[in-house]
Amino acid sequence: MLATHVMAAARSDVGDCCANQREIRECNGARTETWLICPPELMSLPANKPQQHAARNPKPTTLDAMSSTPAPRHAPRDGKGELPYGRPLQSEFDDDLDYPRISGVSFRRGTLTPGQQEVWDNNWDRIGTIMSDDEIDVEKWFGRPGPTVVEIGSGTGTSTVAMAPLEADHNIIAVELYKPGLAKLLTAMKREDVDNIRMVRGDGVEVLQRMIAPESLAGVRIFFPDPWPKARHHKRRIVQSGTLNLIASRLKPGGVLHVATDHAEYAEWIDELVGVEPLLEPRPFPWPESPLLLDRPTTKFQRKGLEKGHSIHEYVWQKVS
């Protein structure tokens, strides 16, 4: 195999970028992606500009170190709990409401420690699954019936694993994209002997839409979601009119949605959406009569916010009967 010093060029029919890469550029009429190496015959680089492309990717990459065949869009990866290649699936809604739009997913660190990897390999098949079009059979997965709560964006699971023993009769489904976060939650579950939590690796909106049955949930939690502070990124915020409508459709009558943020501008954003969904009735916080546990432990993100002088904003809705 020959080594190549240029950015690999993908054929136009390969599809969109890998889920954990964001750099896509047009190079001489062909789409280029940092995650993909194509055979030399697919590259159409001009002979008089080799140095220009070499400067973009100074470290040579040998083709025998990677597959010369591009991975098809949404092809599975090797390993337990791995998301498929390609841009994450996004449902198309026709209700004229706003839904989060995420073009890709990228993490600075995706590897697990040896200890986390061992716990992951030994327990993922029973505890976890990746986002799919298969509706979750809660009773079969947990081995019992019971009120079901979905936590969107569980992060490293500090709140999840602390609250689960306090509602031992509830079935908790933690939804998170970040694999090391789920690994920390899984490790904490085994350490604390907590077994009423299951995990879905995927986007929260898509999991609700594709995997959760209508009117099946006792509660939904969204604690300290990414505020996406730049104006051009506001479309990525999880709390949108469409998300509230989707959550309402998945809650049973009387079910509770609980949202918390320490970001002041995001709180103003949520304030404008409090009454937008007619099936969700705002409730006060604190709300002693809540049928869902509302007391949260203080997470590291909350502590950081408090140290910076941020206020914690709590929002609670109940689905009307």
Each of the 321 residues of the chain gets a pLDDT tens digit; together they read 443 333 333 333 333 333 344 444 444 444 444 444 344 444 444 444 444 433 333 333 333 333 334 444 455 556 798 988 766 678 889 889 999 987 655 555 568 999 999 999 999 999 999 999 999 999 999 999 999 999 999 999 999 999 999 999 999 999 999 999 999 999 999 999 999 999 999 999 999 999 999 999 999 999 999 999 999 999 999 999 999 999 999 999 999 999 999 999 999 999 999 999 999 999 999 999 999 999 999 887 788 888 888 899 999 999 998
Q: Residue type for 181, please?
A: G
- Backbone angles phi and psi of 280, in degrees to 5: -115, 120
- Rounded to whole angstroms, the Cα distance separating 294 from 217 reads 16
pLDDT at 108: 52
- Rounded to whole angstroms, the Cα distance separating 23 from 20 reads 10
- Rounded to whole angstroms, the Cα distance separating 24 from 4 reads 19
Place of tokens 């916080």: 285
pLDDT at 130: 96
- Rounded to whole angstroms, the Cα distance separating 203 from 206 reads 5
Indicate left, alpha or beta for 265 from its phi (over 0: left) and psi (-120 to 50: alpha): alpha
The pTM score is 0.75
Q: Active-site residue 134, yes or no? A: no
pLDDT at 44: 44
Q: Which candidate in 226, 262, 271, 295 is catalytic?
A: 226
pLDDT at 101: 80
pLDDT at 33: 41
User: How do strand 197-201 and strand 128-130 relate by DSSP bridges?
Assistant: parallel
pLDDT at 256: 98
Q: How many CB atoms lie within 10 A of CB 104?
A: 16
